[in-house]
Amino acid sequence: GDELRVKGLTAFLLTLVAIMATVTFRYEWRFALAAIIAIVHDIVITFGFVSYFKVDFNIESVAALLMILGYSIHDTIIVYDRVRENIEESKETDFVYLINEAVSRTQSRTTLTSLTVFFVVLTLYVFGGDIMLGFSFPMLVGVIIGTYSSIFVAAQLVVWTGFNVITYRQRLADKVKAHAEKEKMRSQFESGVI
């Protein structure tokens, strides 16, 4: 009991730290913070349903919660990729508009993927019996909550963090300029000019 809780919580926290670092590196800290809040939202609500319906919390439940975490961050990253593409390709500076466009472009993909996973897990829930209940019930709830949060929560949380499209575009332009200068110096060095 207690050992399972400690190991499950440790795995969860280490995963959150890894996700925070990865998303910060790939995007920006505001995206990472929003993703972590959305994931915690998913896990807390799922755990609340598990507790409310008195489903035994066992190693399968820990596995389900970690899978929900992975599933949720995957869907969130897909939305974030579209947001970043919209920022880079569009002249629009209204961040809420760019988010809505990104969500619209990914909504059908997210919904179809979620329905596929949901029906597979529903089959486990219906035919798996008590042995699979600790895994299938949290997964059923988690797929629904994770889909909801990746579409309606995660990207909107980035807005609350004060993300600024113009500042972000300027940082991207500065990175491109710095990279071009490095490449120019490297080519000059290789050709013997420097």
Among 85, 88, 71, smallest CA distance to 150 is for: 71
Cβ(75)–Cβ(146) below 8 Å: yes
How many Cα atoms are found within 13 Å in the side-chain-facing hemisphere of 51? 6
Collect all residues with Cβ–Cβ distance below 8 Å to 126 and sequence separation of at least 6.
none
Among 13, 25, 4, 8, smallest CA distance to 80 is for: 25
pLDDT at 41: 94
d(CA 76, CA 98): 15
165 exposed, middle or buried (CB, 10 Å; 0-12, 13-18, 19+)?
A: middle
* Per-residue model confidence as pLDDT tens for the chain (194 residues): 678 778 877 888 888 888 888 888 888 889 999 999 999 999 999 999 999 999 888 888 888 988 998 889 999 999 999 998 998 888 888 889 999 999 999 989 989 999 999 999 999 999 988 888 889 999 999 999 999 999 899 989 999 998 888 888 888 888 888 888 888 888 888 888 76
Q: Can you give the residue ranges of every domain in the chain?
A: 2-163, 164-194
pLDDT at 1: 66
Please tell me the class of the 2-163 domain: mainly alpha
Which two structure tokens, joined as six digits, stand for 68?
A: 């929900």
pLDDT at 15: 84
| CB-based burial, 130-155: b 16+ in 10 Å, e otherwise | eebbbbbbbbbbbbbbbbbbbbebbb
